[in-house]
Amino acid sequence: MGTGIIGIGRYVPETVYTNEYFEQRLDTSDEWIRTRTGIEERRFASDEENTSDLAIKATEKALKNANITMNDIGLIVVATATPDQVFPTVACQIGEHFGVKCAAMDISAACSGFIYGLVTASQYIENNTYEHVLVVGVEKLSKITNFEDRNTAILFGDGACAAVLSKVSDGRGILSFDLGSDGSGGEFLFLNDEQFIDMKGREVFKFAVRQMGDSAVQVLEKAGLQKEDCDFLVPHQANIRIIEAARERLGLPSEKVSITVNKYGNTSAASIGLSLVEELEQGKIKDDDILVLVGFGGGLTWGSIALKWGK
């Protein structure tokens, strides 16, 4: 028995902000944003909707998809850089909403958070501590975005994804993972004193292009697989040019790579899960497909998982 995803769900806020929204407010253009990032639109939550609200909505869908209830969950792991408050954690807020008192914690690994969350959850299942673990990747990045800074404002969006992890059979589930960090790059992407995202975009870009490819190749090797065994790549959605570099590194055709950055922008810890749900809904991922999920982000951090899809 392996550890796999038996149910998954997502939620994005209703209101769509196109690039024109920024054209009207900043010295930027739809053309620049599309060609440099691949982003066409993103969603921002309203003032009434906080990170935990997004997380709860994605959780409801994941539980339904897994055909279990919150009472079956032994541990809630939430990956977020934008909790409602530092504490109580979003994980505790989810537990409270559903009326359960299970183990609950938030983890912080920026845009790699969902991968770190899945790997953390899988350890508790593999050592038989818990039967089902809920992993949520959620961000309300609009809370920490400086809407006067054209270098960052155009990049981010809000959203949530949730996955239920459990034992799965037939060789399915997580085959290998690769996690890492390099604190020397912390200065390239951080929350500044004004509590806004601050970024040296070009430095993060260079790191991302190198690290996404390296980590994706390594995780396949760890699973005893070749690049051509990968049926579908689900990368962190920060910039279409970074995704394209990872695609080329794995030698994959474009129809085998998830791209949702055009619709949601960079939703940090939510982006890989959001993309995964989108591809499943479109029927692009089938049972027994070999997936590579790969992320990178502030820290600097990175992480990838090779996964044989199916319950």
The label of the residue with tokens 């969950």 reads 73
- Asked whether the CA dihedral 16, 242, 163, 113 is positive or negative, the reply is negative
User: What is the Cα Rg of the chain in Å?
Assistant: 18
Cα 130 from Cα 77, distance rounded (Å): 12
Return the residues of window 203-242 that contact ligand UT7 according to CB under 6 A. Answer: 204-205, 208, 238-239
The residue number with the shortest CB distance to ligand UT7 is: 201
192 catalytic residue (yes or no): no
- Work out which of 16, 21, 23, 28 binds ligand UT7, going by CB under 6 A: 28
Measured from the CB of residue 237, what is the shortest distance to ligand UT7 in angstroms?
Answer: 8
Shorter beta-carbon distance to ligand UT7: residue 121 or 204: 204
Q: Please provide residue 14's backbone torsions phi and psi, each rounded to the nearest 5 degrees.
A: -70, -40
Q: Please provide residue 193's backbone torsions phi and psi, each rounded to the nearest 5 degrees.
A: -65, -25
Sequence-distant (≥ 6) Cβ neighbours of residue 278 within 8 angstroms: 10, 258, 260
- Asked whether the CA dihedral 260, 261, 267, 272 is positive or negative, the reply is positive
- Work out which of 193, 202, 254, 255 binds ligand UT7, going by CB under 6 A: 202
How many residues line the site for ligand UT7 (CB under 6 A)? 19
The label of the residue with tokens 């970074």 reads 242
Cα 4 from Cα 10, distance rounded (Å): 17
Q: How many CB atoms are closer than 10 A to CB 35?
A: 11
Cα 30 from Cα 310, distance rounded (Å): 39
CA dihedral 76, 214, 265, 64 (to 10 degrees): -30
> Which entry of 102, 111, 161, 230 is annotated as an active-site residue?
111
Return the residues of window 85-104 that contact ligand UT7 according to CB under 6 A. Answer: none
230 catalytic residue (yes or no): no
> Which entry of 19, 50, 239, 266 is annotated as an active-site residue?
266
154 forms part of the interface with ligand UT7 (CB under 6 A): yes
- Work out which of 150, 167, 210, 311 binds ligand UT7, going by CB under 6 A: 150
- Work out which of 55, 63, 79, 111 binds ligand UT7, going by CB under 6 A: 111
- Work out which of 19, 50, 120, 266 binds ligand UT7, going by CB under 6 A: 266
114 forms part of the interface with ligand UT7 (CB under 6 A): no
74 forms part of the interface with ligand UT7 (CB under 6 A): no
161 catalytic residue (yes or no): no
Measured from the CB of residue 148, what is the shortest distance to ligand UT7 in angstroms?
Answer: 12
Cα 105 from Cα 83, distance rounded (Å): 12
Q: List interacting residues with ligand UT7 (CB under 6 A).
A: 28, 32, 36-37, 111, 150-151, 154, 189, 199, 201-202, 204-205, 208, 238-239, 266, 297
Query: Mind telling me the catalytic residues?
Result: 111, 236, 266
